[in-house]
Structure 1
Amino acid sequence: MGTELSNEMSLLFDKLKAELDQQTIQITENITKTVLKVVDEKIQPIIAENERLTREVEKLNKQLQNLDVNARKNNIILHGIPEPSTEKYEDLNALVIKTITDLDVPLENSEINKVQRLGKNG
């Protein structure tokens, strides 16, 4: 009768352990789901804001490109113009006007917004 009781206790213990293991799994799954739900609720506004900001950056980049194109559409770049060691803006302006008018293109000083050198040659 002692071994019967011991076998029943062992069987009962095994069932209890299996039930506790199952409950532990369920509790872990519930906690995980709850935590993931909370994290998801916190992250969703951040994701939405990130998407909005990404669209805004793309829009601003397109506007910047358009502004850059518009700012350059009336530019002329001349190559081979001599570069004296000292030069005033007025001298460069007059040289550009002379160079362009020598090409039979009429140009008035008032039509020039800005004249500048892009860089010195080697």
Structure 2
Amino acid sequence: MEHQFQILFDKMKFEMQKQTVELKESITNSIMEKMDEKLKPILAENKDLQIKLLNLEREVEYLKRDKKHNNIILFKLNEKKNLPQV
């Protein structure tokens, strides 16, 4: 009789462990799905911001080059400190 109880106890223990594993997997999957749902808009916004940043960096580089392009350097030109006022 005691042997039968032990077998029954072992079966119950095995089933409980099996259910525990299934429950853990179910909870983990549920949490991961919710996290993915919340992360999707953040990832999309991050991608948009990266594109905007890249465009702004290109624009800054263009403006820097354009600013330098309009500079004129004159060599050996005498500068007069006191110019007459007109």
- Give the shorter-chain TM-score range: 0.7 to 0.9
Aligned to 1:52: 48
1:72 CA drift (Å): 1.1
TM-score, structure 1 normalization: 0.60
Aligned to 1:27: 23
| Over 2 Å off, 4+ runs | 76-82
Alignment RMSD (CA, Å):
2.2
Higher relative contact order (CA 8 A, sep 6+): 1
Amino acid at match of 2:36: D
Looking at structure 1, the residues matched to 77 and 5 of structure 2 have their Cα atoms a distance apart, in angstroms, of 105
Ranges in structure 1 where 5+ consecutive residues have no aligned partner:
83-89, 95-122
Matched, 1:73 2:63: no
Aligned to 1:38: 34
Number of equivalenced pairs: 81
Give runs of aligned pairs for residues 1-122 of structure 1, distance below 5 A. Answer: 5-77=1-73, 91=81
Name the CA shift for 1:42/1:80 in 2 (closer, same or farther; >3 Å): farther
1:66 CA drift (Å): 0.6
1:69-117: CA deviation from partner (whole Å, max 9, x where unpaired): 11110213457889xxxxxxx73xx7xxxxxxxxxxxxxxxxxxxxxxx
Higher helix content, 1 or 2: 2
- Identity of aligned pairs, percent? 33
